[in-house]
């Protein structure tokens, strides 16, 4: 039980500052990226009218996500943001599913990964808001309904980043801790794989979908 919440860190001194690297999260992120690259290459290798099994899976995922983006944003914007949304979802699913493989861990278990992705979505949403509405209209939105509400409006925008990233972190971390504790308490062969399937595959997919959809929704709220 000692390893609960322990993080392997590499601390590099850099001109008087200590740079901290969470080795596990970085390595696992790269593993997830490599998995995705292999999947993408295999799915797109032999493109044909009669698709192979991997191509079908790839087309299904990308097509559905593109449709969802079109529903939330509109046709024009979906062309621009669709690739981002697809990439985000696939990356998150790969990360959340990584934990079911023995000796590998979910990079999303480290708060830095969800936080980085949440900030990415935040900046993209606000950048596209400024681009489409113009700086003046964008800033005016913060003074509604009264100008006194300015600090609270800013806090509520920032709170969105907190909630979106901690939602992912809490679910994945909670699942991992429950699996760890249950396997420590009971020497059962059935329970941990079942829990792994539930938290890793099911909850992991739902949370990846929720994260992706919320990023899309935040973009659409800023743009429209």
Name the phi and psi angles at 88, rounded to 5: -60, -45
Which among 19-27, 31-39, 136-144, 180-188 is the span making contact with other proteins, rule CB under 8 A?
A: 180-188
CB nearer other proteins, residue 43 or residue 109: 109
Shortest Å, Cβ 124 to other proteins: 17
**21 SS3 class:** strand
CB nearer other proteins, residue 43 or residue 118: 118
Residue 217 is a binding residue for other proteins (CB under 8 A): yes
Residue 116 is a binding residue for other proteins (CB under 8 A): no
Shortest Å, Cβ 162 to other proteins: 6
Burial letters 71-106, b for 16+ CB under 10 A, else e? ebbeeebbeebbebbbebbbbbbbbbbbbbeeeebb
Helices (H), the chain: 23-45, 53-72, 75-97, 112-133, 135-140, 150-185, 191-196, 204-223
CA distance 70 to 82: 8
Residue 101 · residue 31 · CB < 8 Å: no
Shortest Å, Cβ 26 to other proteins: 22
Residue 206 · residue 89 · CB < 8 Å: no
CA distance 162 to 59: 33
Shortest Å, Cβ 46 to other proteins: 31
- 119: its two tokens: 């900030």
Query: Of 181, 188, 194, 197, which one interacts with other proteins (CB under 8 A)?
Result: 181
The pattern of x and - marking residues 18 through 57 that bind other proteins according to CB under 8 A reads ----------------------------------------
Task: Return the bridge partners of 11, or none.
Answer: 20
Total number of residues shown for the chain: 224
Binding residues for other proteins restricted to 132-161, rule: CB under 8 A:
152, 155-156, 159-160
Residue 221 is a binding residue for other proteins (CB under 8 A): yes
CB nearer other proteins, residue 43 or residue 113: 113
Binding site residues, other proteins, CB under 8 A: 1, 4-5, 68, 71-72, 152, 155-156, 159-160, 162-163, 166-167, 170-171, 173-175, 177-178, 181-182, 185, 202-203, 206, 209-210, 213-214, 217, 220-221, 224
């Amino acid at each position: 039980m000692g390893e609960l919440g322990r993080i392997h860190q590499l601390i590099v001194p850099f001109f008087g500052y200590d740079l901290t690297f969470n080795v596990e999260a970085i390595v696992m992120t790269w593993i997830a990226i490599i998995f995705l690259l292999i999947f993408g290459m295999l799915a797109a290798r032999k493109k044909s009218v009669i698709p192979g099994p991997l191509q079908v899976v790839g087309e299904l995922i990308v097509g559905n996500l593109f449709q969802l983006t079109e529903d939330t944003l509109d046709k024009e914007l979906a062309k621009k943001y669709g690739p981002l949304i697809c990439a985000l979802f696939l990356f998150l699913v790969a990360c959340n599913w990584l934990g079911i493989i023995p000796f590998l861990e979910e990079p999303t278990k480290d708060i830095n990964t969800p936080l980085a992705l949440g900030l990415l979505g935040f900046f993209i949403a606000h950048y596209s808001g400024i681009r489409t509405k113009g700086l003046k209209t964008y800033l005016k939105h913060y003074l509604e309904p009264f100008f006194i509400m300015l600090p609270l409006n800013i806090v509520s925008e920032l709170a969105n980043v907190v909630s979106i990233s901690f939602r992912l972190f809490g679910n994945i971390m909670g699942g991992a801790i429950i699996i760890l504790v249950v396997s420590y308490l009971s020497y059962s062969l059935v329970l941990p794989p079942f829990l792994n399937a539930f938290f890793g595959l099911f909850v992991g997919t739902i949370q990846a979908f929720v994260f992706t959809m919320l990023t899309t929704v935040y973009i659409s709220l800023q743009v429209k």
